[in-house]
Structure 1
Amino acid sequence: MEVRSVTRALQILEAVAQHQPVTVGELSKLLGLPKSTVQRTLVTLDEAGWLRANRKDTTRWDIGARVLAVRPAALQGSSLFAAAREPMIRLRDALNETIHLSVPDGLQGAVIVDRVDCTHALRIFFAIGDISPLHATASGRAILAHLPTADVDEVVRRGLERFTDATPTDPGQLLVELERVRADGFSVNRNQYRSGVCAVAAAILDVDGTPLATITVSIPESRYDAARLPELGRLVTDTAKEIAARRTGE
């Protein structure tokens, strides 16, 4: 009985991850389980931190913070994590700004899996496991720029939430920005997700062009100098390319 309960809980967890935000009824149909069984399991997983009620619609369920925290830890032995660490440190040393490594969480957002801090008293801090929206951040748009058109359309269909006055919430504006990312090789965020936070990011691509991760330099607006953007973009893109090459042993 206990083994079946664990198996059922894992099935529900995986289904939520794939279909979030999802209702009890939808999960019941997907898995062929009674609604009462699904509801009890959801509550248990919620209490343990693995799932959470959707902020906009509490009848729907999302993956919880514990999953996002475990995932980065699991990546620490991966080829991506190992390949990225040394180049991230060198990039931090060159700029003395915080460097983040993020991976895409489907189309839900970008999850921070590693960070190298700068030495400034005033610095940008996002915790390992934090997830940010694809359309509103430099790391997210670096990912979006290399995804198929159908995936970009799906992100737009879900709605482009506004976080600041600078957030690109118009689909046309977002598409123009993605074209710019593809042309320049890097993306730029000035106060588009968090006020006072600027960032420059580049995608780490697999051999087939799939975005595996992003490398991002995060800078307080008070230290951001637009005149340095070409230099920042070059350093970030060069670091992304180095990580990709180290990962495949080239």
Structure 2
Amino acid sequence: MDKPLKTPPPYPIASVDHALRAATVLQMEGGATVSQIAERLGVARSTAHRILAMLVYRDFAVQDDDRLYRAGPVLELAAHSQSLVSRLRTAALPHLRRVVDLLDETTNLTVRTGDTTRFIASVECRQALRVGSREGMVFPAHRTTAGLLLLADLSDEELEEVYDIEHYRDRPADRPDLGRLRTELKRLRSNGFVVNKERSERGLTAVGVPVRDRDGTALAGLSVSMPSVRYDARRLQSLVRALNNTARAVEKDLAEGR
């Protein structure tokens, strides 16, 4: 079995994790208040204030006159508040929470950039044994549920460009077998959904569907993730139906600018 792509450090430092997650929020969403950061991190307002003050000191954040914190010079690739990623996340979050209420499994929204995917929203379920938030994490596209969905939307020529052999000259082992990948993506296009059994992380199974724009282009992948021991193939149709209904609701709100 493949080694998991994301292994938590043996001695995690909560304060560092909080600071990195706060920086991710500012980069992806354009800005946040102290109270919003405190709520997202699950910490006291005073703790969130200290985290943001350190980010400002190190130029990872700046504070506006209206006391809103935004990405600083170090995060110069920060998303504008009206960027596609920000609008996707805003439109999707209420629906992700409803999926969690319905299925009681962690739900994610993921976008692709080149040969990688990034989780832009993640809502954890309440079960003791659960898949934790992947928000802000980056994985190889061909190893993730959403990545496969989004790669399946590409033409053969576009896929060749994404996996141009020259890009992998120094890391050839990271380049997937394009013949096998094309065969898999063809099947995924026919199915309209993906079942990812421990492909990205050991012990994790995910099911996903695409979120599309008005012209039918896949913008993101919507997925539900669970411990593999809890996945039941007999529930697949109901999982896909719930995800498809949610994807259509996200698309509607995105089109209406909500």
TM-score range, shorter chain: 0.5 to 0.7
> Contact conserved, 1:75 with 1:81, CA < 8 A, in 2?
no
- Counterpart secondary structure, 1:102: strand
Task: Assess, with a 3 A threshold, how the Cα gap between structure 1 residues 67 and 96 changes in structure 2: closer, same or farther.
Answer: farther
Which among 188, 195, 205 is matched to residue 188 of structure 1?
Answer: 195
Correspondence for 1:114 = 121
Distance verdict in 2 for CA 1:76–1:122, change over 3 Å: farther
CA distance in 1: counterparts of 2:118 and 2:144, whole angstroms = 12
Equivalent position of 1:202 in the other structure: 209
In the aligned structure 1, how far is the partner of 2:199 from the partner of 2:225?
A: 13
- Report the identity percentage: 32
For the Cα contact (< 8 Å) 1:69–1:129, is it kept in 2?
no
Residue aligning to 1:102: 110
Q: Match for residue 154 of structure 2? A: 147
- After superposition, the Cα gap between the structure-2 partners of 1:249 and 1:229, relative to the gap in structure 1 and judged at 3 Å, is same
Q: How many Å separate the matches in 2 of 1:249 and 1:74? A: 14
Question: Counterparts of 1:126 and 1:77 in 2: how far apart (Å)?
Answer: 18
CA contact (8 A) 1:72 1:114 kept: no
More deviation, 124-133/182-191: 124-133
Superposed displacement of residue 148, structure 1 = 2.8
CA distance in 1, matches of 2:80, 2:178: 31
User: TM-score when scaled to structure 2?
Assistant: 0.62
Aligned mates of 1:220, 1:238 — CA distance in 2: 23
1:120 Cα offset (Å): 1.0
Over residues 182-230 of structure 1, what are the superposed CA-to-partner deviations in whole Å (9 max), with x where a residue is unaligned? 1121111101111111111111111122222111101111111122112
Aligned partner (choices 219, 227, 236) of residue 229 of structure 1: 236
**SS at 1:104 equivalent:** strand
Aligned Cα root-mean-square deviation (Å): 3.1
Structure 1 alignment gaps of length 5 or more: 1-46, 50-65
Is 1:247–2:241 an aligned residue pair?
A: no
Q: Any conservation in 1 of the 2:195–2:206 contact (CA below 8 Å)? A: yes
- How many residue pairs get aligned? The number is 183
Give the SS at the match of 1:246.
helix
Partner in structure 2 of residue 86 of structure 1: 94
Pick closer, same or farther for the CA change 1:76–1:118 going to 2, 3 Å.
farther
TM-score, with length taken from structure 1: 0.63
